[in-house]
Chain A
Amino acid sequence: MNNAVNVLLLAPFIGSALAYILGKMKKPLAFWVAEITGAILFLASVVIFLKYSDAPINFDLNWIHYGNITIPFGIYIDHLSIIMLLVATGLGFLDIHFAHDYMGEDPDQPRYYAKVLFFIGGMILLVVTKDLIGAFVGWEFMGLASYLLISYWYFKNSAANAGMQAFLYTRFGDIFILAAIALLMVFVGTTNLVELNHLADAGEINKTLALVVALFVFMGAIGKSGQFPLYPWLMNAMEGPTTVSALIHGATMVNSGIYIVARMFDFFAYTEALFVVANVAALSAFIGSTSALVQKEIKKILAYSTMSHLSIAFVGLGVGSLAAGILHLVNHAVFKALLFLAAGAVIYIAHHTKDAWKLGGLIKTAPWVAIFFAMGSLSLAGVPPFSGFFSKELVVASAWEWGNGFVKTFVTIAALLSIAYITRLWILIFLGEPRNEDIAGSVKKPSTLWMRLPLAILAFLTLALSLWQDDIIHYIVGDNFVEPHVEGLTVFMLTSMFIIFLIVVGLYLKGLNLLYKIASHHFVQTIHQILYNGYYVEAMITWISKNIIVNSIARAAKWFDTYVVDYIVNATVALALYTYKFFKLGHTGRIGSYMGQMVLGVAIIVVAILIIVKGL
């Protein structure tokens, strides 16, 4: 089993280097190296899953020893890690497989696969490390890989901007984790996540300190998992290749925030931080689901829905149900990967058209993709018997049972709205008449092996997972799972969803004219603008960083540096010149004047010597 751990830790990075080097020699090799590495990683995860006995895999290394401080680096694999490993490596493998065709025409493939493998390495590192420091290393690796992959098509200004934005937004959160690490190292003496939970259970940590640390860690999670207010990067991250969006910005990296909160769950529960988590997440869920209603681009709709569903998982954690949060994380990862890859297939078929309003009627040309997309959509919407239904139901029920009014309302709205936006998207892409003849006339056929197979596997999984829901819950929390009971919730949810579904179908299939009429109303347009721009949070953050940070603070610093600090330095030259001119006045040519100056000089020297000798 230790071999499997070693493979997991090393193979991605070796594979990454190999994919680049071999790919530079012969292009197809890059894909094959990545595919094989992905398969090996998934197999290693399965081996760990199968061979896992009751005790967690646990070993420590001393990484850095400086002064009297030791910075450890430990490996800790328990059930939670194994679930994350299976999700990350499994979806990673399918994603690489799918990329064979999707990225097949790209001239720069070695770079692509090298970065993807590096990303998977970061994700693995995050979920198997024991210390917050090690987790931070993996966390930042993923941030780097995400940055490089979003700006993969760096020659497009939009992609370059999106990458920069993603890095800076997530980095802003990460800084808080760095501060949290320092606080933990100094005031608690350990960053060991398992031990922190034990200390919290025993109540041996100062509560204020624990609250600050928990909030700092959550700040990092906000950045990485696209919560309010640091979410706009996630939408712009859709500039990257769709396979990247599927893996990183849909299924794995964005889950890391949820993972870290789940990993420190007892620590969070010990403080009031979970309350903050629940409320921020409920707000984000609402923002994400409402904004998803009005987006035009396929991927942006999916991105806002990702944000909304991550928030739903966070709400599960926030109201105190670890099982609900992780269960939704797993289900969401599967169906969101499915949806993104299916969207990738659509985009591939339609020659990189991303605007859903330009598509339409694709069910005739790509029936299988339509079916897989529909399965993913049903799971996302939370329709039984798809897996999404169970976890969403569990989160909403937990929120009703334990959450406050704000959390309850917003998470329910978010859960209900998901059927609206995903139905709308599916109708826009697959039903109706083709709205753009150019695209409709020249569609490509998706290949069975490379494109349909991963979709079929994921579609099957999203159904099959619903059989294992109880097993997953049991696997994570053991026997101490408290199931929330809310009378009539399921009936209420399903009826409301059905009504919403009918409204959306009616509007988009039969009542487009009515829809246009509603949309042209002034008030509706204002609302539409606000939702379409993601509540203007991006505009606000951009305004702050541009006008306050760069053009006020940095500019003031520059002004101060040029006109005060450096001016004084240069003024010494002027001072020297004036001194020279002053003493030049003494060059009169008369003996008497020279004599007088000499006497003055001697007097000054004598006084100076007296002062120095007596004074010091």
Chain B
Amino acid sequence: MVAVDIIFAPIFLSALVYFLTRGAEHLTKYVALAWFIVLFIISLNWLNQIMHPESYAFPPEIINYIKATGFLPLGEYLRVPAFGFSLTLQIDALSVAMLILTAALLILVVFTSWEEKNQAAYFSLLILFSGPIFGVFMTTNVLWFFMFWELTLVPMLFLVGYWGAEGVEVKKVFNIEIKLPSRVYAALKFFLYTHVFAMFMFVGFFLLFKQTGYWDFTLIKEAAIVTPALIWWLMFLGFAAKLPLFPFHTWLPDAHVQAPSSISVLLAGVLLKMGAYGLIRFIIELMPVTTARFAMWMVVLGLITTLYAGFLAIYERHIKKMVAYSSISHMGLVVVAAATLSYDGLSAALYEMIGHALVISPLFLLAGWLHHKTHTWYMDEMGGIMKYAPYASAIFILAGMAALGLPGTMGFIGELTIIISAVKSFGWWIAIIAFAGMISAGYIIWSIRRVFHGEPSEVVKRSEFHMSFPEKFALAVYAFLIVYFGVNPQPIFDIANKAFSFFGGM
């Protein structure tokens, strides 16, 4: 199997699966599971090749290429010589970390959506989604990057818009009323938002081409031009909306609330990471000089995002929105870490990206599960659930502790390394981001108090709390990973150090 098949095979596979499993829909998930496991193993293999190229039988020029650029070449496809344009696939430690994360989350998503309705379509869309998302992280051609970026939206649009929650949204702006089913409103908002901001990025890529004459990331980077501010801002806007950074974040709570919780996991764990990945790859790596000029903007925006979203989470009664704001808050920390433009800061950013994905996912899953069982979104209507669902409560508390940065979990390592790097790069004043840990303690502990502790409410007494085995299994895996990489974070930092070693000499 060549690398390009991994990106395009899902298109055929999903269609095939969809039509072949007619009448035996429950089989679809096994196909999806098998495919994602294949992806996971392939990604692990790539990781090994990048970390230890000398133990593979590569030709010497490839080994030298890996050592010089950090990229493992996976071939060039679909050449269009007239434009000097092709689908160039090459991956480095950063992208392979994202690939492994994506594959792992996809596997776990299969378990957590074990009993989803309309399975054939659902899992076909998931398989379809796996193609472009791998493409995003694998290609270094900016146009293809953009295309994959946009293609990931299509399955997502349907997954949110069709499998999402019930309810009708009425918004009144000026004197025009927008009335749509909430999930459609959320899906469209998500789609249009990312799409519109992707256009800025698109224009940015074109201007970059106009400057350098290259479409390929490595070539543009070698050209090492000093990018004009306009290009920087255009591309920054594109990634900022995806991350999301204040003030481009309002699509996220809506999309998360309406999406089925497994899809929330993909939104938070993978789609937001596309934004962070793009930020690191196409802004920090590609235009270090211009970024240094605007780094203070990134810090301030990241800081505002962290604190602002934290306060929103404190005020929120809606459990899934609370988790969504918490997610935004943590992504703000990633931006602060990335803006340090230092070896250690970027390593910390990558660690926090992975940590955020693993920590926020169980919170989303449990928020959705609680809604499914109690039929209410509001935390003050719940209470005392620990008595009825000790397993779910224990996982929520563990993940919550990770979200507020308790030692022994991934959250702590992320927060600690980010604060140290930030203070190192920006001076003592940035130590106030430590207060993010206080704000997150506020909303997490308060939500545990309202949802799991206390006297059981009427709503809770009426509900029946049963969790299926696949769900329990997936949650246990998340819990294990949170603690394992919280106690022994070095494996992730090894990858991160490899990915950003080019910053070591700067």
Contacts and interface: CB of A to CB of B under 8 A. Distances in A.
Interface string A554-575: 1101100100011101110110
B449 A178 contact: no
B442 interface: yes
Given A64-B490, A67-B421, A172-B438, A558 B312 contact: yes
B345 to A, nearest CB: 7
Interface string A163-178: 1100110011011101
Interface in A202-221: none
A141 interface: yes
Q: How large is the interface on B (under 10, 10 to 19, 20 to 34, 35 or more residues)?
A: 35 or more
Contacts of B348: 66-67
B382 interface: no
Candidate in A133, A157, A181, A569 with the most chain B CB atoms within 10 angstroms: A569
A164 B406 contact: no
B423 interface: yes
A51 to B, nearest CB: 29
A154 B386 CA distance: 8
Contact of A555 (B173, B315, B408): B315
A573 B453 contact: no
Contacts of A144: 401, 406
A178 B423 contact: no
B221 interface: no
Interface in B446-496: 446, 448-449, 452-456, 489-490, 493, 496
Nearest to B172: A570
Interface in B182-212: 189, 193, 207, 210
Interface in A296-337: none
Contacts of A163: 449, 453
Contact of B347 (A66, A157, A574): A66
Given A67-B343, A67-B346, A553-B311, 13 more contacts: A64-B417, A67-B497, A68-B343, A68-B504, A137-B407, A141-B408, A178-B419, A183-B423, A183-B428, A571-B173, A571-B174, A574-B173, A616-B230
Interface string B222-259: 00000000100000000000000011011100000000
Nearest to B406: A140
A223 B308 CA distance: 25
Contacts of A157: 454-455
A348 interface: no
A87 interface: no
Contacts of B397: 148
A65 B490 contact: yes
Contacts of B454: 154-155, 157, 160
A25 interface: no
A141 B434 CA distance: 18
A65 B497 contact: yes
B173 to A, nearest CB: 5
A179 B210 CA distance: 46
Given A156-B455, A182-B434, A574 B174 contact: yes
A561 B247 CA distance: 9
Contacts of B500: 67
B441 interface: yes
Contacts of B412: 137, 140
B441 A569 contact: no
B52 interface: no
Q: Which 6 A-B pairs have the closest CB atoms?
A: A67-B344, A160-B453, A554-B315, A67-B343, A137-B407, A154-B453
B453 A182 contact: no
A570 B192 CA distance: 11
A561 B328 CA distance: 13
B408 A574 contact: no
Interface in B411-449: 412-413, 415-417, 419-424, 428, 431-432, 434-435, 437-438, 441-442, 445-446, 448-449
Nearest to A560: B308
**How many of chain A's residues touch chain B, expressed as a range?**
35 or more
B178 interface: yes
19 contacts: A64-B490, A64-B493, A66-B347, A66-B493, A67-B348, A67-B421, A69-B420, A136-B407, A160-B454, A161-B449, A174-B437, A178-B434, A182-B416, A183-B423, A549-B314, A557-B308, A558-B311, A574-B173, A574-B174
Contacts, number: 177
A186 interface: yes
Interface in A93-150: 133, 136-137, 140-141, 143-144, 147-148
B332 interface: no
A297 to B, nearest CB: 21
Contacts of B496: 66
B117 interface: no
A554 B419 CA distance: 24
A168 B441 CA distance: 7
Nearest to A554: B315
A182 B424 CA distance: 8
A4 interface: no
Given A161-B449, A172-B438, A558-B315, A67 B387 contact: no
A75 interface: no
Residue of A67, A172, A577 with most partner-chain B CB within 10 A: A67
Given A164-B446, A557-B315, A67 B416 contact: no
Contacts of B503: 67
Contact of A155 (B312, B346, B456): B456
B314 A550 contact: yes
Nearest to A166: B445
Given A133-B416, A140-B406, A554-B314, A151 B453 contact: yes
Contacts of A175: 434-435, 437-438
A71 B387 contact: no
A439 interface: no
B384 interface: yes
A185 interface: yes
A22 B348 CA distance: 39
A182 B420 contact: yes
A155 B384 contact: yes
Nearest to B192: A572
Contact of B413 (A64, A186, A571): A64
A159 B173 CA distance: 45
B456 A561 contact: no
Interface string A522-561: 0000000000000000000000000001100111011001
A161 B424 CA distance: 38
B377 to A, nearest CB: 16
B189 A561 contact: no
Nearest to B312: A557
Contacts of B420: 69, 71, 181-182, 185-186
Interface string B298-324: 000000000010011011100000000
Interface in A55-92: 63-69, 71
Nearest to B348: A66
Contacts of B387: 154-155
Given A67-B421, A569-B250, A183 B438 contact: no
A186 B428 CA distance: 9
A229 to B, nearest CB: 16
A268 to B, nearest CB: 20
Given A66-B351, A178-B415, A154 B452 contact: yes
B342 interface: yes
Contact of B408 (A137, A161, A557): A137
Contacts of B406: 140, 143-144
Contacts of B442: 168, 549
Contact of B416 (A65, A71, A550): A71
B176 interface: yes
B171 interface: yes
Contacts of A569: 189, 193, 250-251
A168 B384 CA distance: 20
A461 to B, nearest CB: 33
Contacts of B346: 67
A168 B448 CA distance: 12
Contacts of B251: 569
